[in-house]
Amino acid sequence: NKNEAEEVLTTAEAHTMVFDINLARTAPLQVVSQDLFKTQTIRFTENEGVYQIQEFSKGILDLYAKQIMAEPKVVVTVNGHFDAEGSDEETSLIQSSNLANMALDYLLKKGADKARINVFPLGNTYPLSSNDAATSKLLNQRVEINIKL
């Protein structure tokens, strides 16, 4: 939504956010606090147990990698999430780690500095949806990235 993106941009500018205007309009940031921003959710496709970053999400990661490299004070947290259906807590934690590391690897291939990126697998502790259908499970299989100035 363009108005939401403009509102996020205005708030971000007020807090000396360095991300450029095109990034904020293309991939809005959610303001969590004065110096903490949450990116759009990174989504995955699954085919016979093999996960891949969705093409749309690769575009989002491309934008953030560029901006992370441009701002040396930014610290990034990559939070991996997974569904609870049919998997124990340990398996869910491992799967969420795999998703988070896929996003990390992608950012690193684009030139982001690993020293400023932390990865946290969160398993199934923060579901966005129930796990009663395949589409609901896919909503829970995600990566969220926090950017701290």
**For a pLDDT cut of 90, what percent of the chain falls above it?**
36
Cα separation, 101 vs 82, in Å, equals 13
Cα separation, 134 vs 139, in Å, equals 9
Nearest to 101 by CA among 32, 147, 28, 51: 51
pLDDT at residue 93 in the model: 92
Q: Which residues pair with 75 in a beta bridge?
A: 148
Give me the helix-helix angle, 89-109 and 55-70, nearest 10°: 60
**What digits encode the pLDDT tens for the residues 119-134?**
999 999 888 877 776 6
**What digits encode the pLDDT tens for the residues 57-108?**
998 899 888 888 888 888 899 999 998 766 678 889 999 999 999 999 999 9
Location of structure tokens 């953030």: 64
For residue 36, which amino acid is it?
L
pLDDT at residue 17 in the model: 38
